[in-house]
Chains A and B, each alone.
Chain A
Amino acid sequence: MNKHKYLWYVGLITALIISFVITSAIGSAGISAWTAVAIILSKLPLLGNVIEPSWASMTETIIWQVRVPRNLTAMLVGSGLAVAGASFQGLLRNPLADPYILGISSGAAVGAALALTLTGVFGSIVFGVAPAAFVGAMLAIFLVYNLAKLGNRVAVETLILAGVVVGSFMTAVLSLLLIRMYSNLHQVVFWLMGSLGKGGWEGLTWSALIMLLAIVGLCLLARPLNLMAMGDTVAQGLGVSTEKLKRIILVLASLVTALAVSIAGTIGFVGLVVPHIVRLLIGPDHRALLPLSAFAGAIFLLWADTMARVILAPSEIPVGVVTAFIGAPFFGYLLRRRKPI
């Protein structure tokens, strides 16, 4: 069994690297694949000195300043959402859980809409959209946790219900904001549909670091998460401090989701579908599920974003539309495929 797992790791990591290289060569600008590869290689510390630049300066700008950071963002957001989705599915013992189930996306949307509205009202940027979305998301999860808490414990079923409550409320606030600032409607709607095009290299640094640390943290909690699947009482009997674990996983998964949403808007289906696909392939053991979901999520979003960039070139579809188009039918297929008990 272990040998098989290693094969999966090697396979997915290789697929990720190849996907990254290929998708960096595809785009509306029509740059040849070899040039793209050469440009990327030339930026590497050692290899770089060997390669002679034989391309236009604008080509290098397009590849290195626009496509590469965008693809790195896609990989980051994809892996974050997939791991968060898998964690929530394990924590909440609910196969329909996705990273947004606890009202995080609605909170982030309110934050973003508020930032865009204030920018529109004052004519210049009051809060950045990304930080505002992050604050909104964390506020939502804070409300959800406190709403669901009973004494010192929180039942996972109550968490989901609290998520629905907070999510609905935030959506109502969002609707109010949208209608009051009608002129900004298209900006907020565009943000809601998800886009990986913002930020460039600057957008990546801090968020990337924190997200990677949180993802690693979640992967390390795989074993207790396995035990949680058997119920709180059994897990406690086996030595898991369930309340502490719930809190840590909630914090880490929400952090990852909030960062992902603040960078890229609300991209759906990645957190829902990717863990299920990986589970189909390697089983429900979280020790393998979480890390492999991270890689699979990165590959998934990388290709989804490439399709979003290329299908209607030079126009771009929001990547959330592509993930929904792929994810929803695939999920339907998964449902059909279950064997009768």
Chain B
Amino acid sequence: MDAFTTHTGTAAPLRRTNVDTDQIIPAEYLKRITRTGFEDGLFVAWRTNEPDFVLNRPEYANASILVAGPDFGTGSSREHANWALLDGGFRVVISPRFADIFRNNSTKAGLLTVVLPEADVEALWAAIEADPALPVTVDLQAEQVTYGDVTVPFQIDPYTRWRLLEGLDDVGLTERHLDDIQAFENARPAWKPKALPAV
């Protein structure tokens, strides 16, 4: 995973609530067995059917920060949604509320999710609608979002922040505790079910 420290780019206003992962990438685009190349499915229904959909507008075509309404990433656990956003050029999603699995997947994939109160999201929407070229900086080190002369702090749990800043792989971290895992396994009751052999 790539480390995330700070990112500056332009931001696209996605004025929708409950953006589920089926909208971020529909099921028919999940058949690929690689980890990249999902940009063709990103918001494909809205991009195809709605000519004035925000990401169809040239002024937002190169945005790398997505600013969405509450309950972003609900629904299916598909990490393809996070990959599609990354493949589509996004490094950060800002929303007042994220679905848990989406948020968790983001921390593994290197996509930063930033929770801001609805009023701050409204203000940011207004600013980037007034000036689509406005640079927005998301600083994970300082835990703040900055644009124009506005600075908004955000919170993230310290452990996740550390992992993102360092770009650390969870499996590697867990492997430091194999002895604990072994000890736990040794104490498990023998009657706990096993899938093998097939009965």
Please determine whether chains A and B interact with each other in the same assembly: no
